[in-house]
């Protein structure tokens, strides 16, 4: 990703320190956090300093490496087990987090010298980050031809650079098309309650120079009805074996609207988001977050000072599901780093075993 012309990844490892772009501060401040222990990395995931399926997977992999690097000889396995359980407890929905932890566990399993285990954990965590970035780039190449020219794409939440190590998923075909000279513009939904669309998607598209129009979540149907949307492209946090997709709350209603208006609805995700152990969307654990996220909102005052304000009466009853499930039948297709497929059991199984 480019920030003011400089290339960054969303999260990376320097020695035994995890460094990441603090997404709680964007778009108002660009700050890099330094996390010295796996406990600090786990807290950054829980508190969404780093968020997005791929990025939290990469951060979790680095957290495992931190645990191995900090452990004395004779305690590496125990440290990794503690780190795995702390990292698993941070956020339940995105498959990538669990995938990353399982990958590190697999490379350190069995008898080996402590130094070898530390090295393997560090190398595997770095490989995960590189694979995540490469998958995003590839999704960009594979997804780009789906965009007409000119293209007006509606996206939800943030499945861009910031949600992965680099490139992203839903935004990757848009970046690819834009860099290749195709006329592409984006409608970004605000994405209440945490406003990832308003805060992050609008910011990163502006960094890349892609024209972006921000709309309230409530305006998506009207934009489609006016014929302003050619394609809906969103990310995924977990894809079940049958093609049902968990993604940011509000995705399901966009899929229903897209079908009503006969607009193609694609989900872009790396294969690390696919969970063959999860038969359908009904089994995907859906994170519930604090009521405060709905009742309070944050931003800058007219004078440019950070402020947090209440927008609902004291004592309001709240439900804050962070994700919803879109049934596979609503998807036009899945865009992965291995190709575009139909969202159905057999196609997914073939893709995963290819």
Interface with ligand MRU (CB under 6 A):
51-54, 157-159, 163, 169, 196, 234-237, 247-248, 322
Is 52 or 281 the residue whose CB approaches ligand MRU more closely? 52
Residue in 237, 244, 275, 324 annotated catalytic: 237
Q: What does the alpha-carbon distance between residue 337 and residue 344 come to, in Å, rounded to a whole number?
A: 17
| 352-to-100, 143, 173, 260, 273 alpha-carbon distances in Å | 17, 18, 22, 31, 11
Please say which residue, 54 or 140, places its beta carbon nearer to ligand MRU.
54
Of 22 and 77, CB closest to ligand MRU: 22
Nearer to ligand MRU, 118 or 131 (CB): 131
Q: Which is nearer to ligand MRU, 71 or 330 (CB)?
A: 330
- Smallest Cα–Cα separation from 272: which of 330, 334, 337? 337
d(CA 161, CA 177): 15
Query: Which of 121, 334 has the CB closer to ligand MRU?
Result: 334
Contact of 143 with 173, CB cutoff 8 Å: yes
Contacts made by residues 222-228, CB under 8 angstroms, sequence distance 24+ = 223/154, 223/187, 224/154, 224/257, 224/258, 224/260, 224/261, 224/263, 225/261, 228/152, 228/187
Verify whether residue 22 is a known catalytic residue.
no
Q: Could you write out the DSSP letters of every residue in 28-95?
A: T---EEEE-SHHHHHHHHHTTSS-SHHHHHHHHHHHHHHHHHHSPTT-HHHHHHHHHHHHHTT-SS-H
Q: Which three-class secondary structure state does DSSP give residue 325? A: strand
Strands 333-336 and 339-341: antiparallel
CA 151 from centre of chain: 23
Shortest CB 290 distance to ligand MRU, Å: 13
* Other CB atoms within 10 Å distance of the CB of residue 7: 8
Look at the block and give the residue holding tokens 């935004």: 171
Q: What is the radius of gyration, based on Cα positions, of the chain?
A: 20
Q: Could you give the residue numbers annotated as active site?
A: 237
């Amino acid at each position: 990703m480019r920030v003011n012309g400089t290339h960054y990844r969303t999260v990376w490892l320097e020695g035994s320190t995890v460094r990441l772009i603090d997404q709680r501060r964007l778009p108002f401040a660009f700050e890099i956090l330094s996390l010295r222990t796996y406990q600090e990395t786990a807290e950054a995931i829980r508190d969404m300093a780093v968020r997005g399926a791929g990025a939290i997977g990469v951060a979790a992999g680095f957290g495992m490496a931190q645990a191995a690097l900090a452990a004395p000889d004779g305690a590496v396995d125990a440290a990794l087990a503690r780190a795995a359980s702390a990292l698993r407890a941070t956020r339940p929905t995105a498959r990538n987090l669990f995938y990353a932890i399982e990958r590190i566990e697999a490379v350190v399993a069995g008898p080996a010298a402590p130094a070898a285990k530390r090295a393997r954990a560090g190398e595997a965590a770095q490989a995960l980050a590189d694979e995540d970035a490469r998958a995003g780039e590839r999704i960009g190449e594979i997804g780009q031809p789906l965009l007409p020219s000119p293209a007006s794409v509606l996206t939800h939440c943030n499945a861009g650079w910031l949600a992965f190590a680099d490139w992203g998923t839903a935004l990757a075909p848009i970046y690819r098309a834009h860099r290749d000279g195709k006329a592409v513009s984006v409608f970004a939904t605000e994405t209440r309650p945490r406003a990832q669309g308003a805060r992050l998607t609008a910011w990163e598209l502006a960094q890349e120079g892609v024209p972006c129009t921000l709309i309230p979540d409530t305006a998506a149907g009207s934009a489609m009805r006016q014929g302003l949307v050619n394609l809906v492209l969103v990310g995924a946090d977990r894809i079940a074996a049958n093609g049902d997709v968990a993604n940011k709350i509000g995705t399901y209603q966009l899929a229903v609207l897209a079908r009503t208006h006969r607009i193609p609805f694609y989900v872009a995700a790396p294969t690390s988001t696919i969970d063959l152990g999860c038969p359908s969307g009904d089994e995907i654990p859906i994170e519930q977050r604090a009521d405060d996220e709905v009742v309070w909102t944050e931003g800058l005052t007219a004078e440019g000072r950070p402020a947090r304000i209440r927008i609902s009466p004291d004592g309001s009853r709240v439900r804050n599901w962070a994700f919803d499930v879109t049934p596979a039948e609503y998807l036009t297709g899945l865009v992965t780093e291995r190709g575009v497929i139909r969202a159905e059991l057999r196609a997914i199984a073939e893709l995963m075993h290819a």
